[in-house]
Structure formats: C-alpha cells, structure tokens
Amino acid sequence: MANASAEKVAVVKEVSEKFAKSNAAIITEYRGMRVDSLARLRRALRPHGAEYKIYKNTLARFAVRESGWAELEQFLKGPAAITFVNGDASAVAKVLKTYAKQDPLLVLIGGMVAGKTVSAKELKALADLPPREVMLAQLAGMLQAPLTKTANMFAALPRKTAYALKALVEQREAA
C-alpha cells in the first residue's frame, strides 16, 4: 500500500486483527438497507459472539490478503459487509439467514468457516444445523447407549448365574 494514508493503514490493520481473532467470517450484501435495520442486525448478532462491520472493499481486500483469509477476496464486491464470528458459526449463520428472510435487502454471499471457503448455499445449510449444545447432547446420547447396553449385559451375567445356581440347588434338594 504505497502512499497510503495513516487512516487507511489503520483500517487495514484493524480488519486484519479482527480476522486474526475470528474463527469464521461471513460476507453479506447490504445494498439499500436502512441504518436502523443494520443496527437491529448488529444487536441480534452480538449475543452470538459476532460483529457486523462495513469497510471499503479495497481496504478489506488488502486485509484479507495480509491476514491469510485471501479466499474471501472473491466475495468482496459491491456493498459488502463482514460478519466476524468468535463463537458458533452455525448460530450466526442462522441469525443472518433469519434476518435475510425478514429483510430481503440483506443477501448472504459467502464466507470462511473453520478454514474452508463456503458459498451462500452452504451458509444456509450451516444455518439449518441444530445449535452446538444440541449436537453435543445428541453425540453424548449416541455414545452412552452402547455403554448402557454393555453395563446391563455385564450386570445380567452374575444375576443369571445366581438364578441358575439357585435352580440347581433347589433341584438337588428336591431329589
């Protein structure tokens, strides 16, 4: 960035730092959205560890190249905003998808989740996943079921052996 003003360099540094702290980033188009609508979206995203920011695409492109998120450059066209995610990307994608249904001016474009570039279609599929806690509970249930069956089987062996011995003793006493 030759001949760049200090202000532009500071913006690129800020965006790069936000990418470094994020585990995902989602790009949306916000063309025509009102300021109050953007403020509501930001408030809806905040509890999920996400920050919705608008930067000049030229500066954002420098930042994505500088921070190792260069795959995002393809999505930075037109009035694009970046949602930096420090948490559950699925929950953030769900908020964005729900908000896009309410306000069709918000359009999911793409992003990066867990180091992988994702399209708008993949973001919508990610939004349809159950929350992380529900998925962990389902996994725990799946892991617990075989253990419970095994424990019941091991508990049944001595019980069945005891019943067999009792029956044998009663049979011998009767004879």
Domain covering 6-129 assigned CATH 3.40.50.720 in the classification: no
Average pLDDT (63-84) is 90
pLDDT over threshold 70, residue 63: yes
* Predicted TM-score of the model (pTM): 0.71
Asked whether the predicted pLDDT for residue 45 surpasses 80, the reply is yes
48 close to 115: Cβ distance less than 8 angstroms:
no
Query: Do residues 36 and 105 touch, judged by C-beta distance below 8 A?
Result: no
SS3 content of the chain, % helix, strand, coil (to 5): 65, 15, 20
Q: Where are the domains of the chain?
A: 6-129, 131-175
Give the number of other Cβ atoms within 10 Å of residue 37's Cβ: 16
